[in-house]
Structure 1
Amino acid sequence: MDGTSDGASDAPDPAGFPRQFARTRRFSLGVPRQFTLSPDGRRVLFVRTGSGRDPVGRLWQYEDGAERLLADPAALVGAGAETVPEEERLRRERARERSVGVVAYAADGAARLVSFALSGALWAVRTDGGAPFPVAAAGPVVDPRPSPDGRYIAYVSARSLHVVDLDGTDRQLARSEGPEITYGLAEYTAAESIGRSRGYWWAPDSSRLLVARVDTASVERRYLSDPADPAKPPRAIRYPAAGTANAEVTVELVALDGRRVEVAWDRAAYEYLVAAGWDAHGPFLAVQSRDQRTVRTLAVDPATGATRVLHERTDPAWVELVPGTPARTASGALVLPEDTPHTRYLAVGGHRVTGDGLQLREVLGTEGERVLFTASEDPTETHVWCYEPGHGAHRLSREPGRYGGAGRGGTAVLAGVTARGAEVTVVRGAAGAYAPVGALVSHAEEPVVAPRPRLLTLGERELRGALYLPSWHREGAGKLPVLLDPYGGPGLQLVGRDRGWPACVSQWFAEQGFAVLVVDGRGTPGRGPAWEKAVHGDQLGPALQDQVDALRATGERCAALDLGRVAIRGWSFGGFLAAAAVLHRPDVFHAAVAGAPPTDQRLYDTHWKERFLGHPDAHPEHYARSSLAGHGHRLRRPLLLVHGLADDNVAAAHTLRFSAELLAAGRPHTVLPLPGATHSPADDTVNENLLRFQRDFLLDALGTAGGGPGTG
């Protein structure tokens, strides 16, 4: 073994874990998040719920080592059920938001005025004292944002963009022309697959806004119904499936007096708006071609709307979109990623400022000529770094873990998940001499089952893995059935030196009597562009082979693994991988649980799926190779399919059609439908019992008498 991270408690309580996991919303409640710093770096705004089981978010300010409550929803609108506008409900679903109350906010340039929405009403609070106050709005409010000077608040209501003075004088700057038109909101593809959650941006002088207009009329319509409530009519959504039309996205410059100028670029060649902003050098856009092989950064003339190319990135597979880019420093130097096969560098002004092997993950922001970013030297860790001209790039976070954060005024907030759980540290300094000056308190609960991973490097591809054994298991005491617990796909890593919720779940399954193996294979982030793009044209073959190779390599090194009893479970891409494992490799895998699996890749959305497999009309073989559909006759092992019937990301049709194919082929299987559940089920009781249901299915399928001490 290459290393051990043992954070076990003396008396683990596996029986109580499923309830705790559900009630704490995957241990997310009580954790500080969404940080905004004042210009001098002395004040930090953030959101945090009241406790590890309280789902109500509150707005806080940290200053001089002390925290002060700025807004408590219970005091403002009561503790009853929250009424959420449909546009806000969809925004939260795309963000996988698990709390209620104040779940998002925005501040002016001085971080003195903060706006937020509660039950569709617009609220504001001044951070230098005073109670929160309501601001009259034209209707239910979504995504309110103060102007940089703090005089106005922009918001979206009924698909239209408004600006309101603090005295309640409201102006509708862009009115929706119909039910398919929105101003100021991110379309489905942007929010779900591109990573752009916003639809409008203020000018620094507060005189105008850069606004996205979205027309979904040409996008295919899907219908989500609730079979558990047959009297309830279906809900229509616009979903751009692979190979079909996307929403038409245009951009306008909108002045407070109502004057509007359309921004011009070659939308036929570059139909995706992947990023936008407005800084001291003017408005800018980043646009991407449909085949995703080219991304252009465009400067926008604020007077005419004309654009010019500042930079172009190309790649024969796809151009990876790095959050926070493009950006500009005070001098106007462009901040962008630069890829070689084995390293994703940070480039500033056209020059690489990070070294070989340091993988850029996200740009957190710029201030002056400084660039705050996250990057990985080792794929099991992600740290916050700062680049400063003359001093190079230096790391701010120290302990092993995965970090994000924010920075301003010589201060940085380092929000990490370490081996101890969620931790938020405030550091201050300059030129590599940052020192801790405080911390934001996390009220997250301590897991009743603490992870005990043995971190591994496996095989010739040096696959990163984590092995979880039961706390009660002793070496030489006998072999354990094996459970692979991967995600294994783009955009997410599970193996790391941190106590994230996936590690807690893997340890809980270990306490049930499994040896649990988690592996990040090809296609997962953090190991460079070539590693990510090894799945181009085939999202199944490399990913599945890496799980097989890692399992065999671990079995050779750990005698406790019974390779004659191997199961696999996963959700979303992990569910797809689990079902594929028992279809294509029944010689290795003996049972599977597949949650929300995308079984037919042509049913998934344009940007996400065409990134990896191309356009289905041009490359139908890629979709056939990477789908489970058409292979149902191969099933010889027990398979449990789980799917939320209200899932608007991976539609329940994936599971229902595949189940019909299995039935037609005479292949026994089990289907567990979750009425009312989306891609991330929100019901605490469902989430609690779903863990137990999976455990019982797998133990029964492997013919294993369940569990060890304390299971339940």
Structure 2
Amino acid sequence: MKKLLLTLALFAVTQSMTAQEITLDKIYSGYYRGKGIAGITSMKNGENYLVIEQGGIAKYSYKTSQKDGNLVDGQFESYDFSDDESKIILLKESEPIYRHSFLGKFDIKDLKSGKVISLNDGKPVQEPRFSPDASKIAFVSENNLFYQDLTTGKITQITKNGAKNNILNGLADWVYEEEFGHARLYEWTKNSDAIVFVKLIETEVPEIYIPIYGKSLYPTELRYKYPKAGEKNAVASAHIYRLEGAKTMDINLDHVKNYYIPNVIQTSSADEMVLITSQRTQNASDILKINTKTGAAQKLFTETDPQWVDTDNVTLEFLEDNSFLWGSERDGNRHLYWYDKDGKLKKQVTKGNWEVTDYYGYNPKSKEIYVQTTEKGSINKVVSKINIENGKSQLISNTEGSNSASFSKNYNYFIETSSTAAKPYTFVLKDGNGKTVKELQNNNDQLQKLKADQFVEKEFITISNEAGDQMNAWVMKPKNFDKNKKYPVFMYQYSGPGSQQVSNSWDNGNAIWFNHLVQKGYIVACVDGRGTGYKGAKFKKITYMNLGKYEIEDQIAAAKWLGNQSYVDKTRIGIFGWSFGGYMTSLAMTKGADVFKAGIAVAPVTNWRYYDSVYTERFMRTPQENADGYDKNSPTTYANLLKGKFLLIHGTADDNVHFQNSMEFSEALIQNKKQFEFMAYPDKNHGIYGGQTRPQLYQKMTDFILKNL
């Protein structure tokens, strides 16, 4: 009996010790998983909002925050209303294609009659969209554009030349979707009498093929069009389909910059549409007003920049009188500008040494816009309302951390989603002036579990680079930190153009793994160097034509600064990154070989010649124009410099950063007699996940760090 009691006591102690640690098993079991609110949408009356719950789409009152039952019963992945809220489209099931695009099966429910019909007779479609009068819904099927009459059920085919890897109508190709950020390239006119769409002919775009190993006897193949830097892109053209007469007319864009047509935007006028077009260099974009009756195109203005215009981050909002708000970095920070309906600048609406990071809407009654900004510091995001006529501004969110908002249609309420690096997400219902009505959801349980397991918070600091810039950084130190000891340092970064990793916000991903490493005795640090975002255009765009040069200089400078701290062992500094961050890790282990002892590069670009045209040329121009910029900033060029322990990881079916990148870098390392570790994940894409993949991946990276750092 005594032996049994002793065994039980030892077991209890072991369990107690385990409970005070953050483990990989706990991370990937979902033990620390947080809670959220899905599908928040305001109803047109401004008095109710909807969320997706287990039993369906639930309706809540803003005023009382009480549930008023379900608007729709059942389980759906997502939903969207017609403008008048008489109908709702429900995504029943989906199959992903690329990052944004997917094939989906949809039902359309008439909320007055209760009648439900299947879109496209139940066959999968892409990008369905209600006409503004709710009588029809357009969609894309097999690269052709259609619309379905919701009264008769009749389906009308608008285009007939769509074909895989050849012609797309109203739909983005791979590179448009990935780099301009959306898949739909069509829009209804305000009065529902026409559809303006972009056609992409990708016949001459080079094709990439990826072997898919699966479990079949012979591997299969994924083939799609992928324009690499300097190669041919899809030929873009714009067209108008008028429902009356079922006629399609071309829009003549010969007089404007028309290499790319990334945006089709509805205006407040019944017979007008706006196209945003760009030249290949992406340092000038034309904003065009299209007469949808005649097809005539009028240039409203051209946005230019010495380096690049952010064609993937467009803010264009039309007000009731068809004047519009436009986001621009022309004064050195991203701010909003107000134009009249003919493209004449009325005024700059926001000003200051901070940036507008999101736009939520405009209240015509109060003449106020609602925006997210960095006015409380570049690592924070706050929400404000600003009168566009007199400039009066009012902060309506928390003053620190990362805060975003989902507003009621009348702007009398909003649901604030907020977090800090030390506090997980909370969802709070507030009135239009920022006064709390009710906390709807918090993640106190998640935080308590983490704190019980010795979770440590990030410490925010700044580190100077060689140019004298103060770079934002965070550091995580062991719980029992002793300034008289020497600690190894594990650095994490991404570093891509306009990105941000040093943010006062909660991280449900790597931050918990970093805590696991901290408990193993490491200091974990992250530095946002030149090229990253929210510190102004000059800081972000200095990397132009030399992508990777200043970024790696800053990571090396940061590592040296950390190494000079009395509590850091400068001989034990490691670095880790994914995608662009993997690229930086590869440079760190070669150009920074004397500073970094170990590095993990996941899915890295290793030669910008292998990456897509839109992204790469935005920052580098083409290889034909800037060969040195490509070659002098490729880690492959410096493979002979590798000294430390290096782990290279890539998914074989990565459609974004192709496996070819790691193959080329590996060959360069091999030919320079360099020893390194390489892990290939069969049939995994850029995210490297599925089944037990992520637990295995993070265990492998953890073991590598413990062994080599």
- For normalisation by structure 2, the TM-score amounts to 0.85
Distance 1:444 1:160, change over 3 A: farther
Structure 2 match to 1:114: 88
Most deviating of 403-412 and 197-206: 403-412
2:127 counterpart of 1:140 = no
**Relative to structure 1, is the Cα distance of residues 13 and 485 closer, same or farther in structure 2, using a 3 angstrom cutoff?**
farther
C-alpha distance in 2, partners of 1:298/1:46? 37
What residue in structure 1 maps to residue 253 of structure 2?
A: 265
Mark the CA change 1:435 to 1:149 in structure 2 (over 3 Å): closer, same or farther: farther
TM superposition shift of 1:526? 0.5
Per-residue deviation, residues 279-298 of structure 1 (Å, max 9, x unmatched): 21321011111011101111
- 2:140 matched residue in structure 1: 156
Q: What's the offset of the Cα at 1:617?
A: 0.2
What SS class does the counterpart of residue 321 from structure 2 fall into? coil
What residue is the counterpart of 1:293 in the other structure? 283
Deviation at 1:390, TM superposition (A): 3.2
Q: 2:640: which partner in 1?
A: 633
Comparing 286-295 and 343-352, the one that deviates more: 343-352
Question: Structure 1, residues 49-92: CA drift from partner, whole Å, max 9, x if none?
Answer: x5xxxxxx9644433413555557xx56xxxxxxxxxxxxxxxx
Secondary structure in 2 matching 1:403:
strand
1:184 paired with 2:170, answer yes
Q: Is the 8 A contact 1:517 1:551 kept in 2?
A: no
Q: Is the 8 A contact 1:141 1:156 kept in 2?
A: yes
The aligned counterpart of 1:414 is: 416
* 3-state SS, counterpart of residue 44 of structure 1: strand
Bigger Cα displacement from structure 2, 224-233 vs 681-690:
224-233
Q: Which amino acid in structure 2 is aligned with residue 116 of structure 1?
A: L
| Counterpart contact for 1:365–1:406, Cα < 8 Å | no
Contact 2:256 2:286 in 1 (8 A): no
* Aligned-partner Cα distance in 1 for 2:491–2:155: 56
Q: Distance in 2 between matches of 1:468 and 1:670?
A: 27
Contact 2:578 2:602 in 1 (8 A): yes
Q: Is 1:452 aligned to 2:457, yes or no?
A: yes
Q: 1:553 and 2:561 equivalent?
A: yes
1:693 matched to 2:700: yes
Query: 2 CA distance for matches of 1:648 and 1:24?
Result: 28
- How far apart are residue 20 of structure 1 and its match? 5.0
Provide the C-alpha distance between the structure 2 equivalents of 1:307 and 1:477, rounded to a whole number of angstroms: 70
Which of the pair has the greater relative contact order for Cα pairs under 8 Å at 6+ separation? 1
Q: Aligned pair 1:347/2:361, yes or no? A: no
2:4 alignment partner in structure 1? none
Partner SS for 2:384 = strand
Q: Map 1:355-394 to 2 at 5 A.
A: 355-368=351-364, 369-377=367-375, 378-388=377-387, 389-390=389-390, 392-394=392-394
Q: Secondary structure at the match of 1:242?
A: coil
How far off is 1:652 after superposition? 0.6
Q: Whole-Å Cα distance in 2 between the matches of residues 204 and 322 of structure 1?
A: 24
- Select which of 200, 223, 227 maps to 2:209: 223
Aligned in 2, Cα 1:126/1:355: closer, same or farther, shift over 3 Å? Answer: same
Q: CA deviation at 1:329?
A: 1.8
SS in structure 2 opposite 1:348?
Answer: strand
Verify the 8 A CA contact 1:456 1:465 in the aligned structure 2.
yes
Deviations 1:593-632 (A, max 9, x none): 0000000100101111011111110110110122122221
Q: Equivalent residue for 1:234?
A: 221
CA shift, 1:203, in A, is 1.9
Residue 671 of structure 1 deviates from its aligned partner by 0.8
Map 1:92-107 onto structure 2 (within 5 A). 102=77, 104-107=78-81
Q: Which residue of 1 aligns with 2:155?
A: 170
1:265 maps to amino acid: L
Distance 2:243 2:30 in 1: 43
- 2:662 maps to a residue whose letter is T
Instruction: Return the offset for 1:220.
Output: 0.9
In structure 2, relative to structure 1, the CA distance for the partners of 1:604 and 1:12 (3 Å cut) is farther
Is 1:680 the counterpart of 2:666? The answer is no
**Equivalent pair of 1:24/1:445 in contact (CA under 8 Å):** no
Q: Deviations over 1:349-370 (max 9, x none)?
A: 2322222212122333345354
Taking the aligned partners of 2:191 and 2:297, their CA distance within structure 1 comes to: 21
Change (3 A) 1:609 1:443: same
2:627 aligns to what? 620
Identical positions, percent: 23
Larger mean CA deviation between 404-413 and 373-382 belongs to 404-413
Between 588-597 and 145-154, report the one with greater CA deviation: 145-154
Pair 344,135 (structure 1): closer, same or farther in 2 beyond 3 Å:
closer
- The corresponding residue for 1:525 is 533
Residue matched to 1:403: 403
Structure 1: gaps of 5 or more residues = 1-9, 51-56, 77-100, 703-712
Partner in structure 2 of residue 424 of structure 1: 427
Partner of 2:635, secondary structure, is coil
**Alignment counterpart, residue 276 of structure 1, candidates 233, 240, 264:** 264
- Give the distance between the partners of 2:607 and 2:445, measured in 1 at CA: 39
Q: TM-score, normalised by structure 1?
A: 0.85
Q: Distance in 2 between matches of 1:250 and 1:442?
A: 48
User: 2:373 is aligned with what amino acid?
Assistant: A
Given that 1:324 and 1:362 are in contact with CA atoms closer than 8 Å, whether structure 2 keeps it comes out as no
Q: In the aligned structure 2, how far is the partner of 1:504 from the partner of 1:129? A: 49
Q: Structure 2: how far apart are the matches of 1:302 and 1:165?
A: 21
Structure 2 vs 1, CA of residues 588 and 111 (structure 1 numbering), >3 Å: closer, same or farther? farther
Q: Is the 8 A contact 1:374 1:404 kept in 2?
A: yes
Question: Are residue 308 (structure 1) and residue 310 (structure 2) matched?
Answer: no
Shift of 1:638: 1.1
Judging changes above 3 Å, is the alpha-carbon distance between structure 1 residues 268 and 306 closer, same or farther for their aligned structure 2 residues? Answer: closer
Counterpart selection for 2:605 from 598, 608, 618: 598
Closer, same or farther in 2 for the Cα pair 1:560/1:646, shift >3 Å?
Answer: same
Moved more, 590-599 or 267-276: 267-276
The residue aligned with 1:82 is: none
Counterpart position of 1:87: none
Aligned to 2:327: 337
Aligned residue number for residue 191 of structure 2 = 205
Q: Any idea what SS the aligned residue of 1:175 has?
A: coil
1:581 partnered with 2:580: no
Contact 2:424/2:443 (<8 A) preserved: no
Counterpart residue number, 1:18: 24
Where do residues 307-326 of structure 1 align in structure 2 (5 Å cutoff)?
A: 307-321=297-311, 323-326=313-316
Cα distance in 2 for residues equivalent to 1:223 and 1:560: 50
- Number of residue equivalences: 653
CA contact (8 A) 1:225 1:232 kept: yes
What are the Cα deviations for residues 216-244 of structure 1, in whole angstroms up to 9, with x where unaligned? 21211000112454523111011010001
Aligned residue among 243, 260, 275 for 1:256: 243
Larger Cα-atom Rg = 2
2: CA distance, partners of 1:690 / 1:69: 41
